[in-house]
Structure 1
Amino acid sequence: MNKQKVRPAGLFIGLAVTMIFLALSITFWIRGSRFGWSTEVRIIVELLLLSAFLICILLVKYLELAIQQVASLRVTRWVLRYDTRARNTSSNDGTMNTLDVTIAKHGTLRQLLRDRHGWRWRYRDRWILITGNEQLVERLSPALTSVGFALTPEAVLLYIPSKVDAEDQDSLTKIRRLRRRPVDAVVALTGDAVTTAPLIPPHELAQTLSRIGRALRWAAPVYLLDVAPLDDVGREAHEAVGLMWTRERIHAGDVGASLSALSNTLADAGVARLSTHPTQRTAAALSQHIARIHDALTSLLSETAASQQWRHAVHGVLFAPLASEPTAPAAPASDTASVASRAPHPTLPHQTLWQTVARHSRKVHGRRVGLSLSSIAAWFATSATIVWIIGVNLSGFHNRATLSSAAEALAHWHRAPDRTQQMLALNGLGRHMDTLEVRERNGAPWSTRFGLNRDGAILDAMWPVYVGAAQTFLMTPVRHALEGRLMRLASLSDAEIADGGNMQADAAHNTLEAYLMLATPSRVNANFLTPHLINTAQPVRPNRSELSPGTWADLSAQTITFLASHLSTERGGLSLAMPADRALVASTRQTIISVRGIQNSTDALYEKIIDDAQAKYPPVSLTSLLGDTTSHGLFTTAQTLPGVYTRAAFEERIARAIDAAGAAQDVTGDWVLSDAQRAKSSPSDLKAKLRQRYFDDFARAWETFLNSLHWQSAPTLTGTVDQLLLLGDPQRSPMVALMNAIHYQASTGISSQSLAAGLLDKAQQLVGNDKDPATREPTTVVPLGGRFGPILRLTGSPLVSTANSAGAPPPASAADLSLARYLERVTAMRLKLQQMVSAPDPDAMSRVAAQAVLQGKTSEIADSRDYASRVAASLGGQWAGFGAVLQAPLDQAWQVVVQPAAASLNDIWHSAIVADWNTTLGSRYPFTDSDNDASLPEMARFMHPDGGVIAQFVATQLAGVIERQGDRWVPTQGQHHGGLALDSEFLSGLNRLTRVANVLFPSGDARVRFDLRGVPTPGITDVRIVLSDKDFHYFNQKEEWVPFEWPGQAIENVTRVEWQTAHGGLRAALDAQGRFGLIRLLERAQREPHDSARYLLTWAPDQATDTPLRVQMRSESGAGPLEVVELRHFVLPARIFAAGTVTPRVATPAKSPRAPRSEVE
């Protein structure tokens, strides 16, 4: 009998009632004040709700009894329906196909359970899913494999084969949809058939369980069932035998020990039964079976529980004895409904086993696989309820604190005894209101929301108090101060105000504007008003105030800032505005008008004209500007030109709009002086200002656009030739098309008469009829001729002469510069490059051409680059970016030519100089750590500053790149080596060798002259230094300089230091052999320069006594022999030019196409 009660229903109903009454209680307590309830009334309501809640909790028990009564009625109905269905089923012999059985069995199961248990049919019984070999399952429960389910008194048995296919997946999906918790336990058979074969592999079992878990989205507790084939099975075979546990984690050792104990227990029970009933051999046979499969079953249990595919909680292993041969055939599949419904509790084999699993499964629980909509909804609802309850309580506390602080701020103002406290109270009131306004504008903190926020109501309550306080304490003295200034201004004459210049007139205008803002909230500009109110120095600090002047000024500034930002605020029909003295305002206006007149809003009118035209004329790209000609592969830009700054826009719309604005004179007056009469201005003046503003912005927009152009590099010689071919073609060149477009756009704003007059003037200049251009009447000025003049001059446009009213000729430096000659230079460069491309060895030919330039010789390549540079320079800084595009093609052509030459020079340098250097000197001292000294003649052959190999190479091969200035080699200032960069190591190494060579080889042979002088040292009584053929001996007498010459004339070159201390005998150390012995000795010394010629040398030969040896050295040139020490570990640079040295040009930064408004005034 099923002993599960309906207590969960009562529990759920009780929780729902609790939540409902808790929500009602909180709502009535918080919102009761809106209904006019006092605190006592709300307490009574809360007590009534509590009473109703207790009554409902008591009625939950009776509701539970009613549910049980309904369930018993459903059982009675099920019995009646069962009898009817049983009679009808016995008369039907029809068969059902597999698909019909699959579809019908879950519906039949649902109907059977509803008939048995009513609306609680899903959870009254435990649902057990059995999986394993079909033959074994059929032996355990004959109808289970054919029907798919079977009913027992306490469990619903379901079957899924171990090999889960698509049909089984559908069955598992239908099972999952029947219950929120699909199954309560999974029983997995461990064998493949009724044989003595070993158990199924653990990974197969784990895969089966994993597929079932994913299909059901639920990992139920797993019980392993081992079927023991026995020859003779008695009645006691239906007893439940096995091990069960509630822990999720198991250990192989514990399982093995438990199985051994179970086997021993069964053995004892089997012996006891055999002694009384010889036929009851099941227990003994099971003991023997468990002992035989002990190790395999232990391994299966542990590996299944620890599977990485899907971790299942294994909670037991059971054993079911079964006869070796089947005794009855299985029920046919056509008995889908009849087999399961022949009796309310049909008798099944091993019923005790299923009851044991069902009861134990109540102690353990499964877990959800993946996400479930119901779980998400439940957790979300629970979390939302908890968050709402916490938020409501937290919001209540915070809003109560806000109310308390607001009340305290208001009370502080009302209790303020003097002006100091009033200032503090008003500042605190403003800060509190500012906080509330920020929260109202940007959103209150989450901790103050949840329906309880009262920031708006608090502001409405504080605003009237603040308005009265601000007008009394702050605005009145400020207003009086401004009125005093205006009165003093009105008392001055116009001449006195004019003597102060524009500054005094502007100050008067600003004071009047600030005064009017106090009376006109709609005109308030807080950024303008705040500094003017602060400058009034009101309210004045009391003499005996406890605040320092700095603190008072800071508080006053804060309070005035808040006041200025709230002058335009209105709450409940109440604002801070105060009436102005109209007579004072009128007299002040008249005074200002008589001095400076009225400013009109020309800027606003211009902006309106441009904004209206922008929608009609979209931005113009480079592609649309060039028309049928393409600049692809030559130059490009990502920017566009505003469409309003084109000739079409001006002629079609802008010109007519400017004329209409001039005719209407639609210019509004300054609102500060709005009562004064409008200033009289002629239409022509307004039109001239608007046109000038437009043409300035027009030129600026084109400057920005053209300066944004950049050349698209082609790193190869062939690509450069193709680019120059297209660029130099007068018919297809995009540069020609661009120049034509610029010429067309630059003629914007001139009439055909003015252009004809310009052409006539130029013709007269050419034939010489115009003797005195200065006496000629000026022609019509071209609006854009001055700004576009440098570009138009290249095209030979007559607009340049038309734009020049004085008829002055173009600059002499630009007389020979034109676009046509520029294209000729491009074509000449292209032909030169084509010769190189067509040559058998293009690199060799380009190398010869580049080396001629690098050696300082003239060439057509250099002349073309110079011409392009002059063309770019003639455009000036205004068109620097566009000039860079004109110069870039020829620079690029030079770069592709010079790169092979640079590589060739690097190779020649390495093979002719570096390799020989490394062979002759690189492996000898001082260039490396070696006992072999370098040959001084060989060093002279390389390093001599005049006739050395290195100096001759630089002078002959790099004459156009490097020049000698004194004792230093520096890059030349010309541009013939553009695109190349000298390796910094090469230049520094060359200067290093030159500096050493000037000291070491002053007249060809190696000779360095220097002097030594002893230095008195405590503890040292005698010092002797042996240098080749001369000695230096110092024994604490008067110091004197001793001359030396290195390397000297002695055949045996020995360098040695000897010294004698006060407490010891003569010692010798620091021996060195060879001509570089002195250099080795100097290398080991600590060198400290005293000036440009004297150095202090310090040796520490005896580390034990720590007594140094000191000698002064004086050189004739440079550092003397110390210069040679600089050659230690010197490595001759392997290259002259660095790779990847092309430096792109940077165009002039783009400027705004709009001019500042001050330019129009």
Structure 2
Amino acid sequence: MNERKARPAGLFIGLAVAIIFLAFAIMLWIRGPHLGWSAEQRIIVELAVLSGFLVSMLLIKYLELVITWVASLGVMMKTRHYDANASKAPSATGTAATAAMTISRHEALRDALRDRHGWRWRYRERWILITGTEQLVNCLSPTLVSTSFALTTEAVLLYVSDKLSATDKDWLSQIRRLRRRRPIDSVVALTSDTESDPTLLAPESLAQRLTRIGRALRWAAPVYLLDLSPLESDAPAPDEAIGLTWAGTRIQTNGIKASLSALAMNLADAGVVRLGIDPAQRSAAAISQHIVRMQGALSARICQTAASQFWRHAVHGMLFAPIDAAAMVPHVAPVRTQHAKLWQLVASHCRKVHGRRVGFSMSSATAWLVTGALFVWILGMNLSGLHNRATIRSAEAALEQSRQASDRTEQMLALNNLGREIDTLEVREQQGAPWSTRFGVNRDGAILNAMWPGYVSAAQAFLMTPVRHALEAKLMHLASLSDAEIADKGNVQADAAHDTLETYLMLANPARAKTAFLKDQLMDTEEPVRPNHSELSPGAWADLRSQTLAFMAAHLGTSRGGVSLTAPVDQSLVASTRQTIVSVRGIQNSTDALYEKILDDARAKYPPVTLTSLLGDTTSHGLFTTSETVPGVFTRAAFEERISRAIDDASARQNVTGDWVLSDTKGNEANASALKAELRQRYFDDYARAWENFLNSLRWQPAPSLTGTVDQLLLLGDPQRSPMVALMNAINYQASAGVTSQSLAAGLLDRAQQLVGHDKDPSKREQTTVVPLASAFGPILRLTGSDLVGAGNGASALHAAGGSDLSLSRYLERVTAMRLKLQQMVSAPDPDAMSRVAAQAVLQGKTSEIADSRDYASRVAASLGGQWAGFGAVLQAPLDQAWQVVVQPAAASLNDIWRDAVVVKWNKAFGGRYPFADSDNDASLPEMARFMRPDSGVIAQFVATQLAGVVERQGDRWVAAQGPNQGGLALNPEFVNGLNRLTWAANVLFPSGDAHVRFDLRGVPTPGITDVRFVLSDRDFHYFNQKEEWMPFEWPGQTLENVTHVEWQTAQGGLRSALDARGRFGLIRLLERAQVEQQDSARYVLTWTPDQAAGTPLRVQMRSEAGAGPLEVLQLRHFALPARIFTAGSMKPATATRAASERAPHTGAQ
């Protein structure tokens, strides 16, 4: 029944342990990244948790036993409570006496044994604990109850009552302290059928008593049951040991019964013999009868005691002893010696069996831990031995493979494998070997030392020698070239030679080797070359070669066991190569290296300066921004705190050395002052360049709305909150780097003397130190009115700055004026109308405050020059943006006016009419004159009145006006091109206001044509192969018919007529059908082929007075007036293309 209960308890314990470990593992996996653990570390921790879980699962059975023991404590506590109440003395005096008695008997026992056996008194004799009622104990040893111990020749007898009172427990604790390793050797439990309380004979009661004794002693000793049989006889019983003993722990009822039966038979036989000798010797026969009578009860008592539910006791004997029936009455008698055989039997048998610990024991736990540690260590040594043996064999195989390699492919594979083995061992040496290879037998260091000479030998033969020969071949080729041939290829050839020489020297001087550089250079040598019939593909060979050369470059100069990987060099070749490189490019001044070192030492102390950190409490959000930064070393704080002192120290040491590749010795000492000046000049050049890049990277953040622009201008123009003011102040501060207080004070004094007119003699003036950054920051410093400009550039620069009207304060005033103007527009009832009026005034060429402000901003930006163009654009952008938000409504309004006033009427007058469309209806020449007259036409007047500031006329061509007021408009290129087409045509068609074009015609002789007659309006042109003469014509003519046609006659045929056209544009229609060939600037040849079958052309020559004469009208064919003046998109002004002005030959219809 108990076993069936144990299984669910173990199951529940296992589930609980699994849940706890699972939750703990999940928590560690999630929290690992927050604790800085890598993936490998988390896996190791999880494996450790898994190992702990497996160990816990193995210990669940023991944990179950502990829990069962804890559960049984409840029963034990109740028993102890009962015993404590039963053993309470009637008074405090009795309790004190009991305690004193316990102490005295403990000391008495110790003293007696010490006197008897000396310092080895604890384990010289067997200690036997007797438990039972006082009556039964008195029958065996009358003084044992009073003294609690008795010394015999065979053993030490200890007594504890069957009640196990508090005094008995204290006595047991004293015994445990006297003999810690093995408190007692056996327990003898007394039983008898004469017990007044039958419950004392119950196996459960006996087992409970033994359990309590074992817990008190923390030791479960072998148990012997001693049954006392009353004997009514006056003769004393003989001193003999009667009973059964066994060494095994498994007890079977049938076996016990059989043994008891055999014992009873033996005793019966012995009793008969003794009775025949002496009738008073009845003890053997009486015990035999007692065993036979109590055989079942005795066997049951033994088995049930051994298999009790309280504790499984190791019962190893059932003994019997006769006692006098009269002795059952309490009395005081001396110790009887007739039971010496009995104690001797118990003492001798308990040497064959052993007890066990009860509960936790530090010694047992320590022993188990030591045993477990030894087991783990032995297992680890075996595992480590296996791993290290595998490592040794792998290393031996790699070395043997490198020795046995016959061709280059095998050598490459063997060398790469050997390098991997060495790399693995080096990683173990640096980061620690795996746990499986430790445990005292790790030999990684010895293996590495043994492998290294083999690798060096293989690498020297297969890698180092071919690479060295390839480098020497390159250097020899360089030495064979002349300086002129090398110089023709620029610095590339010299730099390549320098790198090759540096690589060559690194092979002999590994202390200067740089792994990354060396690997790249070794790869460029293309050695070792892949064999033609190699089993490796070119890609695999290249990858293998890269790995092998990289390993060699990383281990160049490594020494193990006195063997290192180096290569000898040809000193004569090195010398000649150095001379060649030096003669081509010269010895590079190592001031560069010193300068870079100064900056590198200071760079970590000064972080990059951002726009936010530069402005401090002032924010530029919404105005301008940049993602660039200024290196922290190029600030005034860095220069004054570190850079200046570093330059002084470097120049004082004068330890500038040459390039080690080109020279083995140090260079000549440089002059300290010259070196200092050179370093400072280079620093300030880079300083100015860094600030130039930063300020030119600033970008204005546009606000397309009028209100947003007003808010931007309000913040920009506020002297107290403007980020531009804060930025200028920061620039002034940073630009003063390198200016000493003495030089600045002297400059201020000199300026004051100039202003008051004192000390006019320049030779008597104190010469001030030049400000290092005055030239670079001069344009910006002049805007801010900084004194650094005068201190750095003298009186002329100061006068130039003072004589100019450009300054930051006036710029801010212009910004404020523009902002006030825009605020008026915003607060007006119709902001769009007001902004349109203001913009139109500017577009019409009138002066205004807006135009002046934009002009001032552009001059401020231009004053900064090209060096600060990006920063100047930021200064100009706010006012340009303000103009843009004002001019956009005006542009839309002008587009509407143009469309309504001109385009609509134009389309109404000329829509669907020739020459603007393919139609039989001709356009009205008076209407065309009204629109197209160069000076008084509708279009010319509109442009003059509405677009005076947008486009301007240059001769007979319209172009976009150049000026600051067009920056916010995108002029439609088609509009300008259309104006030019109309203007060029109008200049020819309407020279005096009305349509009047004069031109001349002259016949051209044509084979096969005998007569040609042209009827043009009211005049005829007749040509019949006579002398060519010019005939004048006018267009349009005065006749009302306006009939135009051509008549001709050939040598083989009669008169023919074709190309008829009517109306005022009949001539233009005829010209449109001709093929035009320009001969010069005034003459054109017109060719018609009316009879396509005959293929005979009709040709005539035309000469115009102005332009192309009537041919100019053809420019108006399919012409459409642009509907918009301005377009959306780019704010860059459009320019008229010149393509339209080119007088290309006009091509008529074939």
Change (3 A) 1:1113 1:796: same
Q: Matched residues in 2 for 1:621 and 1:440: separation?
A: 48
Q: Counterpart of 2:888?
A: 899
The alignment status of 1:736 with 2:725, answered yes or no, reads: yes
Query: By how many angstroms is 1:1131 displaced?
Result: 0.8
Equivalent position amino acid for 1:762 in 2 = R
In the TM superposition, 1:297-312 aligns within 5 A as none
Query: By how many angstroms is 1:775 displaced?
Result: 4.6
Change (3 A) 1:1114 1:701: same
Q: Matched residues in 1 for 2:417 and 2:818: separation?
A: 69
The alignment status of 1:1038 with 2:1038, answered yes or no, reads: no
The alignment status of 1:804 with 2:801, answered yes or no, reads: no
Change (3 A) 1:463 1:1066: farther
Equivalent position amino acid for 2:640 in 1 = E
- Find the structure with the greater CA-based Rg: 2
In the TM superposition, 1:1104-1115 aligns within 5 A as 1104-1115=1093-1104
Q: Counterpart of 2:938?
A: 949
Query: By how many angstroms is 1:468 displaced?
Result: 6.8
Query: By how many angstroms is 1:746 displaced?
Result: 1.5
Change (3 A) 1:515 1:607: closer
In the TM superposition, 1:1126-1145 aligns within 5 A as 1126-1143=1115-1132
Query: By how many angstroms is 1:943 displaced?
Result: 0.9
Q: Counterpart of 1:822?
A: 811
The alignment status of 1:647 with 2:636, answered yes or no, reads: yes
Q: Matched residues in 1 for 2:475 and 2:960: separation?
A: 72
Three-state SS of the structure 1 residue aligned to 2:743 is helix
Three-state SS of the structure 1 residue aligned to 2:777 is helix
Q: Counterpart of 1:378?
A: none
Q: Which stretch of structure 1 is more off in the superposition, 476-485 or 963-972?
A: 476-485
The alignment status of 1:636 with 2:625, answered yes or no, reads: yes
Deviations 1:1016-1044 (A, max 9, x none): 34443332221111112223333333221
Change (3 A) 1:1110 1:673: closer
Equivalent position amino acid for 1:931 in 2 = D
Equivalent position amino acid for 1:689 in 2 = E
Equivalent position amino acid for 1:464 in 2 = A
Pick the aligned partner of 2:1082 from 1093, 1102, 1107: 1093
Equivalent position amino acid for 2:745 in 1 = A
Change (3 A) 1:645 1:479: closer
Q: Matched residues in 2 for 1:1003 and 1:518: separation?
A: 94
Asked if the contact 2:750–2:766 (Cα under 8 Å) also holds between the matched residues in 1, the reply is no
Change (3 A) 1:477 1:953: closer
Q: Counterpart of 1:608?
A: 597
Query: By how many angstroms is 1:653 displaced?
Result: 3.2
Pick the aligned partner of 1:923 from 912, 918, 921: 912
Asked if the contact 2:696–2:870 (Cα under 8 Å) also holds between the matched residues in 1, the reply is yes
Equivalent position amino acid for 1:961 in 2 = V
Asked if the contact 2:464–2:567 (Cα under 8 Å) also holds between the matched residues in 1, the reply is no
Q: Counterpart of 1:763?
A: 752
Asked if the contact 1:471–1:576 (Cα under 8 Å) also holds between the matched residues in 2, the reply is no
The alignment status of 1:965 with 2:954, answered yes or no, reads: yes
Q: Counterpart of 1:691?
A: 680
In the TM superposition, 1:474-493 aligns within 5 A as none
Three-state SS of the structure 2 residue aligned to 1:1010 is strand
Deviations 1:603-653 (A, max 9, x none): 223223322333332222212211221111211112222222222333333
Query: By how many angstroms is 1:1114 displaced?
Result: 2.0
In the TM superposition, 1:252-271 aligns within 5 A as none
Equivalent position amino acid for 2:892 in 1 = A
Q: Matched residues in 1 for 2:1121 and 2:498: separation?
A: 76
Asked if the contact 2:654–2:669 (Cα under 8 Å) also holds between the matched residues in 1, the reply is no
Deviations 1:406-459 (A, max 9, x none): 98999xxxxxxxxxxxxxxxxxx9xx9999999999xxxxxxxxxxxxxxx999
Asked if the contact 1:620–1:641 (Cα under 8 Å) also holds between the matched residues in 2, the reply is yes
Gaps of 5+ in 1: 1-402, 411-428, 442-456, 489-501, 533-561, 1146-1161
Three-state SS of the structure 2 residue aligned to 1:1092 is coil
The alignment status of 1:724 with 2:721, answered yes or no, reads: no
Query: By how many angstroms is 1:880 displaced?
Result: 0.8
Query: By how many angstroms is 1:597 displaced?
Result: 11
Asked if the contact 1:774–1:806 (Cα under 8 Å) also holds between the matched residues in 2, the reply is no
Change (3 A) 1:768 1:1118: same
Q: Counterpart of 2:1043?
A: 1054
Change (3 A) 1:671 1:986: same
Q: Matched residues in 1 for 2:981 and 2:792: separation?
A: 59
Pick the aligned partner of 2:1004 from 1007, 1015, 1019: 1015
Pick the aligned partner of 1:464 from 461, 480, 504: 461
Three-state SS of the structure 2 residue aligned to 1:702 is helix
Q: Which has the higher contact order (CA 8 A, sep 6+)?
A: 1
Q: Matched residues in 1 for 2:675 and 2:681: separation?
A: 10
Query: By how many angstroms is 1:881 displaced?
Result: 0.7
Asked if the contact 2:789–2:797 (Cα under 8 Å) also holds between the matched residues in 1, the reply is no
Deviations 1:780-807 (A, max 9, x none): 3322222112111111111211222566
The alignment status of 1:937 with 2:926, answered yes or no, reads: yes
Asked if the contact 1:854–1:976 (Cα under 8 Å) also holds between the matched residues in 2, the reply is yes
In the TM superposition, 1:721-870 aligns within 5 A as 721-773=710-762, 775-805=764-794, 808-811=797-800, 815-870=804-859
Three-state SS of the structure 1 residue aligned to 2:1116 is coil
Q: Which stretch of structure 1 is more off in the superposition, 761-770 or 1057-1066?
A: 1057-1066
Change (3 A) 1:812 1:961: farther
Equivalent position amino acid for 1:922 in 2 = G
Asked if the contact 2:626–2:699 (Cα under 8 Å) also holds between the matched residues in 1, the reply is yes
Change (3 A) 1:434 1:861: farther
How many percent identity over aligned positions? Answer: 74
Change (3 A) 1:526 1:1124: farther
Aligned length: 664
The alignment status of 1:879 with 2:876, answered yes or no, reads: no
In the TM superposition, 1:480-629 aligns within 5 A as 577-580=567-570, 601-629=590-618
In the TM superposition, 1:155-304 aligns within 5 A as none
Q: Matched residues in 1 for 2:999 and 2:939: separation?
A: 27
Asked if the contact 2:419–2:455 (Cα under 8 Å) also holds between the matched residues in 1, the reply is no
**TM-score normalised by structure 2 residue count:** 0.51
Deviations 1:743-766 (A, max 9, x none): 121122223333322222222222
**TM-score normalised by structure 1 residue count:** 0.51
Equivalent position amino acid for 1:942 in 2 = F
Q: Matched residues in 2 for 1:1116 and 1:594: separation?
A: 74
Three-state SS of the structure 1 residue aligned to 2:847 is coil
Query: By how many angstroms is 1:976 displaced?
Result: 2.1
Gaps of 5+ in 2: 1-401, 421-453, 484-490, 522-547, 1135-1150
In the TM superposition, 1:110-121 aligns within 5 A as none
Equivalent position amino acid for 1:638 in 2 = S
Asked if the contact 1:762–1:798 (Cα under 8 Å) also holds between the matched residues in 2, the reply is no
Three-state SS of the structure 2 residue aligned to 1:1068 is strand
Three-state SS of the structure 1 residue aligned to 2:605 is coil
Query: By how many angstroms is 1:824 displaced?
Result: 0.9
Query: By how many angstroms is 1:886 displaced?
Result: 0.8
Equivalent position amino acid for 1:657 in 2 = A
Equivalent position amino acid for 2:890 in 1 = A
Equivalent position amino acid for 2:840 in 1 = Q
Three-state SS of the structure 1 residue aligned to 2:1001 is strand
Equivalent position amino acid for 2:734 in 1 = Q
Change (3 A) 1:779 1:592: farther
Three-state SS of the structure 2 residue aligned to 1:1026 is strand
Q: Matched residues in 2 for 1:1099 and 1:687: separation?
A: 87
Asked if the contact 1:854–1:960 (Cα under 8 Å) also holds between the matched residues in 2, the reply is yes
Asked if the contact 1:460–1:571 (Cα under 8 Å) also holds between the matched residues in 2, the reply is no
